[in-house]
Structure formats: structure tokens, C-alpha cells
Amino acid sequence: MTRLSVNINKVATLRNARGGNVPNVVKVALDCEKFGAEGITVHPRPDERHIRRSDVFDLRPLLRTEFNIEGYPSPEFIDLVIKVKPHQVTLVPDSPTQLTSNAGWDTKRNLGFLSEVLEAFNGAGIRTSVFVAADSEAIEYAAKAGADRVELYTEPYASAYPQNRDAAIAPFVEAAQTARKLGLGLNAGHDLSLENLRFFHEQIPWLDEVSIGHALISDALYLGLERTIHEYKNCLI
């Protein structure tokens, strides 16, 4: 079964735009679980422009499904994750000023750094995932660094899907097969939507998890959160 993890960053962005606690980030996360999501993802950035450190601590004891924290492994981020002990940590190569994650790790170049960070998280009993492009070499070096899983950066697939879905998915199938041969778990995320998710899953049915935020929260404005989560889950059957 492929799990749906809902990234709630955009809910926090809306809250922060006005101040106060509307919408309530914790309530939305718990509602996502109630409506069928199998996980919650957050990305606490240094400027706290959406998810705050306090949100991470508030969520941890209340969530009943898998909790995934993603971010760049700065000393502050590592300290937060070790203290919170989520089920999974996803490492992204973002700079503090980036608007959103827009590239995977150069795992070969960063092998030493990633190995050290992954060892710390694995030693704390936290499952690790490394954000990578659909590139076999990047996946091989993620395995060498000690990752439990890789998360495929799917924006290139989403961009190419409307023109030629078969060409768009081809490098991702190859990358997914590499991960499976190496014994790595497989996640995917970034710009997956109701338009392109079903085909992605049909071609790579052994996916462990998809993490979806922007498109899902945007769809919920029209469809409502409960129906939207059901629609996304239907794409993963």
C-alpha cells in the first residue's frame, strides 16, 4: 500500500498571514488523519514562514499516523528532529532562502556530509529519506550514505506529463527500479496532483509514500478537505 502523507505547510502559511491561530494547524492535521491520510509532513524552515518549531512539538504527541519532518540538516534542524523523534526525516538540499524544494541532493559530492547526518538520525531510531532526482547514480550514493529510503523529486515529471506522460515517467521508473534493487524504500513528492498521480502510481506501484501539499490544499478550497483526501487516496489504489 502506498501511503498518502499530507504536507500541511500551506495551512500554516495561511495562518501566519493573519496572525492568531486560524486555521488551526494541529486541528487540520488531525482532520487529515480522520479523513484517511496515513501521514503528516511538515517542513520547518529557519524563518518559520509557515511551520513553526512550536507546531512540530505540538503535533508530535497528538498524531496517530506517521510523522515526517523534512528540511535541510543544519545543526538546528538536526537538534529539533532528534528531540521530536518523528517516524521519518527527509533531507532536502534547500538553502534557508529558497521558496520551495526545487532539486535533489548531489549525493556523490555530499557523501561524507550525508553519511554523518544519516548516522545520527539512524542512531536515534528515526527512518531516513534523502530527496533525489530521478538519477540512478544519486540513488546509489544515497544508499552508500546509509539512507533507508529516497524521495524522488517529481516536478520534472509533473511538468512534462501534459505533453507526453510516457516520456515523463520513463526516468522515474528507471530510478525506482534502481532503488528497489538496492533495497531502498521509495517515496515521491513535489507537484504531484489529481491530474498526474494515478498514472505515476500505476507505473511505480511499489511506492511506499507520496507527500503532497500545495496541490492537495489548493484542491481542498473547492472540494473540501475530506473529499480531496479521498480523491487522492483513490489515485493510489
* Cα distance from N-terminal residue to C-terminal residue, the chain: 8
Q: How many CB atoms are closer than 10 A to CB 232?
A: 23
**From 33, 43, 201, 209, the catalytic residue:** 43
**From 33, 50, 151, 190, the catalytic residue:** 190
**From 70, 151, 201, 209, the catalytic residue:** 70
Query: Would you put residue 71 in left (φ > 0), alpha (ψ -120 to 50) or beta?
Result: left
Collapsing DSSP states into helix, strand and coil, what is residue 203?
helix
Residue 43 bears catalytic tag: yes
C-alpha cell at 196: 498526474
Residue 70 bears catalytic tag: yes
Q: Is residue 43 within 8 Å of 77, Cβ to Cβ?
A: no
Residue 214 bears catalytic tag: no
Tell me the DSSP string of 92-105: ----TT-SS-----
In sequence order, the 6+-apart residues with CB closer than 8 A to the CB of 221 are none
Instruction: Report, as residue numbers or ranges, the catalytic residues.
Output: 43, 70, 190
